[in-house]
């Protein structure tokens, strides 16, 4: 009898130990996130300087598409200048110790461009395909919380969340290559009214490119690579700074354009939110703003 009780006690202890270990492994722990205060630095325009409708001359490319998407459709996570993870549309991220469960807490309130608020059910619908593509079960916990559950340990979830976009969550409304300020953006008012990107190959021809810059038409333009010396001399006297980026492209930025600082490692992550024009005559303004 005593032997049976001893065996039962051992089995119970083993079961409790296994159960405790499973519960311990499933416990959520926070993933450190930076505050995100520097993501949307407000502009500081004088009267009328936030009404600029900018034009840029950039060649069509996947990078340009990513740049425009970053202005209109935000990702859940982003990296700051120090390469630390920041909750762009999240206030918290947690993961289980076994790395198979990830919980996301949405930033609230956050207004989308259609006037609705960011809700977990809406995010779940948007991200269902992406989650299924990486073998995750996406569950809505409550109005502000979602979970991703995997069959195996995943450590690359922050990288995934930095790629997954929520349409209409950013400071600009996008239509093709045109951005228009979203006046109801939660983080505040952008410093420019909008941006139109022109990708006409004929305008990227050397003489046309130089003429556009010397006339002040473009807020910035990418160097096309074959410029006559006399044209380049005129461009460099036209109030533009030459900036070389890591991808090999060379940008000419108007000196009157305030706080447009392309991220040299990945210019597609450059933010337009805090940019404004620093003089009333910048740039050539086809709308007369």
> Which CATH number characterizes residue 213's domain?
3.40.190.10
pLDDT at residue 6 above 70? no
Q: Is the peptide bond before 80 cis (omega within 30 degrees of 0)?
A: no
Cα dihedral sign for 97, 99, 100, 102? Answer: positive
Separation in Å, CA 137 to CA 51, 132, 152, 221: 45, 7, 12, 44
pLDDT of residue 286: 46
76 within 8 A of 162, measured Cβ to Cβ:
yes
Share of the chain above pLDDT 70, in %: 88
Report whether 82 contacts 169 (CB < 8 A). no
What pLDDT score was predicted for residue 136?
94
Tell me: do 190 and 110 sit in the same domain: no
Instruction: Select from 168, 184, 213 the last residue of a domain.
Output: 168
Do both 65 and 111 map to the same domain?
no
pLDDT at 33 over 70: yes
> Do 54 and 193 have their domain in common?
yes
Confirm whether pTM is higher than 0.75. yes
Residues 158 and 185 in one domain: no
* Per-residue confidence (pLDDT) for residue 10, from 0 to 100: 55
Separate counts of helices (H) and strands (E) for the chain: 6, 18
Domain assignment of residue 250, yes or no: yes
Residue with more model confidence, 83 or 93: 93
Task: Domain of residue 149: give its range.
Answer: 74-168
Does residue 119 share a domain with residue 94?
yes
Residue 6 placed within a domain: no
Distance CA 70, CA 76 (A): 11
* H runs (alpha helix) in the chain: 2-26, 62-72, 120-133, 157-161, 206-214, 229-236
Three-class SS state of 195 = strand
Classify residue 39: in a domain, yes or no. no
- What is residue 80's predicted lDDT score, i.e. its pLDDT? 79
């Amino acid at each position: 009898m005593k032997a049976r009780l001893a065996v039962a006690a051992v089995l119970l202890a083993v079961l409790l130990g296994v159960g405790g270990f499973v519960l311990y492994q499933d416990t959520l722990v926070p993933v450190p996130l930076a505050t995100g205060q520097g993501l949307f630095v407000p502009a500081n325009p004088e009267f009328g300087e936030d009404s600029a409708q900018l034009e840029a001359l950039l060649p069509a490319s996947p990078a340009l598409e990513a740049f425009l998407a970053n202005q209109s459709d935000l990702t859940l996570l982003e990296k700051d200048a120090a390469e630390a993870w920041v909750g762009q549309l999240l206030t918290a991220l947690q993961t289980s110790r076994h790395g198979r469960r990830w919980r996301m807490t949405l930033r609230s309130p956050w207004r989308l461009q259609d006037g609705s608020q960011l809700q977990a059910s809406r995010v779940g619908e948007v991200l269902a395909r992406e989650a299924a593509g990486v073998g995750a079960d996406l569950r809505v916990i409550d109005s502000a919380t979602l979970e991703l559950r995997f069959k195996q340990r995943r450590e690359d979830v922050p990288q995934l969340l930095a790629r997954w976009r929520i349409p209409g969550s950013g400071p600009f409304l996008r239509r093709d290559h045109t951005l228009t300020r979203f006046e109801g953006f939660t983080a505040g008012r952008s410093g420019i009214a909008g941006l139109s990107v022109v990708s006409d190959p004929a305008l990227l021809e050397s003489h046309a490119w130089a003429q556009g810059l010397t006339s002040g038409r473009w807020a910035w333009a990418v160097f096309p690579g074959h410029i006559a010396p006399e044209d380049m001399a005129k461009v460099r006297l036209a109030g533009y700074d030459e900036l070389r980026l890591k991808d090999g492209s060379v940008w000419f930025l108007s000196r009157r354009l305030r706080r447009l600082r392309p991220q040299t490692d990945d210019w597609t992550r450059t933010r337009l939110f805090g940019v404004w024009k620093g003089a009333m005559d910048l740039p050539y303004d086809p709308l007369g703003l």
